[in-house]
């Protein structure tokens, strides 16, 4: 695994952890405030785009 792949996976893990923290806070408090909800949605969108890019790369290899 090259350096870029390790960095990509690390970023992916960090984003998943951040999303999980928001989801846990949502479950504990019964809802996130508007700003946190938007931020969580944004991170989820970034993660989905990363997954799409990764699939594109795998198909080209």
Find the Cα–Cα–Cα–Cα dihedral 39, 42, 46, 47, rounded to 10°: 70
Q: What is the 3-state secondary structure (H, E, C) of 25-39?
A: HHHHHCCCCHHHHHH
Q: In this predicted structure, what is the pLDDT of residue 44?
A: 93
SS3 30: coil
Q: In this predicted structure, what is the pLDDT of residue 26?
A: 85
Residue 16 predicted with pLDDT over 90: yes
What residue ranges in the chain does DSSP mark as E strands? none
Q: Are 40 and 19 in contact, with CB atoms under 8 Å apart?
A: yes
Residue 1 predicted with pLDDT over 70: no
Confidence of residue 28 (pLDDT cuts 50, 70, 90): confident
């Amino acid at each position: 695994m090259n350096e870029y792949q390790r960095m990509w996976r690390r970023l992916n893990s960090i984003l998943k952890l951040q999303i999980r923290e928001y989801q846990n806070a949502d479950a504990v408090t019964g809802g996130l405030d508007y700003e946190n909800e938007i931020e969580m949605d944004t991170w989820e969108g970034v993660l989905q785009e990363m997954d799409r890019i990764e699939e594109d790369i795998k198909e080209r290899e």
